[in-house]
Structure 1
Amino acid sequence: MSSVAGSETIINDFIAAIHPNFDYVLTDTAFSACLFTLLIVLFAFSTKESRRRLVFRLNVLAICVALALGIFSSLVSGRAIIDPFNQVSKGVYIASIVFAVFPPVLYDSILLTRLFALYPISNTPRTTLFKIFAFPFCVKCARVIVLVCFFFYFEFYFPVTLCAEEAAAWFRNPFMVSEWTMQIADNLYSVSFFLYNLHARTSLVKRVAERIRQIFYISLANFVFPLIFNIAQIICITTDRNPTTGVMLLTMNNYITVMGVLCATLWFSGTEWVRARNESLSDHMFNSPRPKFPRDHVAGGRSGSEVVVIRKESVTLDATGTDTGSDSNQFTTSEKENKYSLV
């Protein structure tokens, strides 16, 4: 009887020991699969023009970094489950931490590039650019310095085995609390400044009201969800000595931030893809032979008309092929609409 109780105790202790690592593996697998699918969709909806943009390349880099986080984290957690007495090397463990805490600086920088759409480098005075980007640049430099100090702290106080001292290094760590606080300030500045200037510059353009509303919701989501996770991480690191919940929030925050930035790019790439298809369709129809319409026996003329989409504007061709619905103001508005496609 005592041997059965002893076996149950051993099994329960083993399950309790591997349970956090099992949660890590499930989280990394699920989010990595979603990111890989979104990466395929991103390339599917991209055009040659959109693939040349800096924001597209930064999004691809962000996805690759997030996938690397999933690989290293799964290696560490999977090895702890399969062979708990022979875990991964210290280098692999440090790499998993690096890909967990450093990439948010990159993700926030991708969102910051939206300001270049409002303030192009070639047309904006250097003093104006300095005033706009001085604060976020200083904050990002401070975040990098704090993270480097965090790793020196790790190496100095826990030089032998990092896995065993994870809880001691996690609880009330001043470097991580500072990093997440500065991340909140960084995102708050970027999003608020972007939305304010976007509203001020497009308040007189009524035709792009729907697009501005979509940009507003996307920008708000890119800020609100990381903000919620940052606040939750600060609460966990200051109140809970067990790092399991905090590490889960940190990992999920990385993936959700990448997905938010990626969804914004997918939305813009989708509009670019539709515009490119419409332009190619219009070129084909204008270059093709003039179609012959059947006679309308009631009116005595030709029936039917074609609607050709050019730069998101509807142009109706009558029976003689003349433009009956075009307006020069429409193209001006379309140019304004394309100009403010900023996400």
Structure 2
Amino acid sequence: MSVAFESVADALLDGFGREHLDETLRYLSVSLGCLAASLAIVTKEEVRTVSAIGSKVLSWRRPIAGGRTGRLSFPVVTDQPDALAALAAHFPIADNSRNLLVIPVIELDPAKLLVLACASFPSGADLAAAAASAQRIVQILRSQVRLLAELAESSALACATEPAGPVGVAEPREPFGAANPEPPEVVSDFLLSTLVRRRSMRVRRDLVYFGVRSWRSPLKSYQISALRALKRNPPPAFLHTVAAEVADEAVRLGGRQAFQSVTAVPCGHSGPDGFSQQLGIEVARQLQLPFVRVFAYRRVSGSSHPKTNAKRPPIQMIAAPDGNTLLVDDVATSGAHIAEAGAMLRKAGAHVTPLVWISA
């Protein structure tokens, strides 16, 4: 991979490691019957543990007296000759250690390799069978690392072309992952598993709006890139899941009988039927309420950066809201957009509850 190794490793550690990697390793150790498992990065000089349960099952022996260097030795089980060759390039391999299984996950760059290591198997355990059973987890980890690499590249491009300051969510300027695109399901799984579930209440221009999730700080740039990619053509399962979270929060806020209709903040960057409109329609379907397109589409060029809010054309209403209205949007960065829409609904005499999926 051409992306800087440290950014991928740190994203794995900060985003996945604290909550997901440990659980993944714990599940793996139970299913394989071993007492310890770890995800680690190995080089010729050191081993860096990304996540571990039980104990750190890999260690590196530092240079010893007389100029000799200690050796890291264990049996390696893999049915992929190229993976074994890549592993062998990083450190000497010997076959005199027992009860330790190491499976290469992915080569991060020519000098660094991500490996999955499991140790302390029962006596007489079949390590080859254990390795075969672990392949599903290895494939998932491999997909996640590749995705993080793609997101890092996409994020770097966005940072180079967008103004400094708070980050909005816009359409990508280049095709996402054009060289080796990950399936949309992998991208949506990444986003749904890393966004923080944090109910929030914020105020903008005397309008109170509510949020369901928030960005995870170490992964924010990756998450924004993932959302950009998904908004271009959202997978039905992703749209359904997001809408379910918004609908559930609406029920928590007011109960099932609190609303008579649903509407959405008008799209600007993604066309008249962009993600916020699709989200509003799906939320209305799940709540069994009518969706009313209250606002006219207004085309906005450039990014959805908060600094561009003042340059946007004003929102125009094209239909009257129907009773108590649930106002939906996918992301509120500064809150200006949803506050403008909510203020217009109030001015028209509606009782409005603004609700966003991600509140910055």
Shorter-chain TM-score tier:
under 0.3
Q: Which has the higher strand share?
A: 2
Instruction: Compute the TM-score of the two structures, normalised by the length of structure 1.
Output: 0.25
Q: Which has the higher helix share?
A: 1
Instruction: Compute the TM-score of the two structures, normalised by the length of structure 2.
Output: 0.25
- More relative contact order, 1 or 2 (CA 8 Å, 6+ apart): 1
